[in-house]
Amino acid sequence: HFNQDTIADAAIDNAMFALIMVAFAGNIYFTFRSFGKLRLTRDYRLAMRGGMLFLVISCCIGFAISLYGYSRVSVGLSPEVVGERGVTKFPHGIAIHALQILPVIVFASRMLGMKSSQRRCIIWSVIVSFAFQIAFAGYQTVFGLGRFEINTVAGAALALISIGVPITTLLLALMSFWRPSRKN
């Protein structure tokens, strides 16, 4: 990205952008389709829909990064940094990984024998966690802070929530899973 120094570099950069736009159109199409009737269980359906929405969010963040980066390059500045240490790719990278992680969590929770309601609860908590992680990454980036540079109350709260929500939900699900059943 952002390399337009030669005619060949500009052609490659423009071709990449065109291919990204085609992929984005496909992502939008399949995201809308994922909210239709699917022959999936409720937990996989939730994971798929959440993952696809985060993929679209990631693409939108990527477009914002591109606009920012090209404007920086046009005045001779680095396209990769916001402020002193903000990493432009940070929120984009977090959002894109939800599509990979959510189905794995469904698979793992099924292998553990968890009930459908427990699996959905875990998936919802991970979706909420990803939303907070993206907010945290966006906050860190916009304010020019490094990925692990948590020096404000808001940054610390976002970090704790994004980690604490799924861990708490997983612990509650595991506790109910291994709790001996009561026989009347």
Whole-number pLDDT of residue 44: 93
In the numeric block, which tokens belong to residue 144? Answer: 């020019």
Place of tokens 């099924």: 110
Whole-number pLDDT of residue 166: 72
Whole-number pLDDT of residue 69: 86
Which of 97, 100, 105 shows the shortest CA–CA distance to 121?
Answer: 105
User: pLDDT under 70 in the chain at which residues?
Assistant: 1-2, 173-184
Whole-number pLDDT of residue 182: 47
Question: What global pTM score does this model have?
Answer: 0.81
Beta strand pairing status for 86-87 and 81-82? Answer: antiparallel
Whole-number pLDDT of residue 31: 94
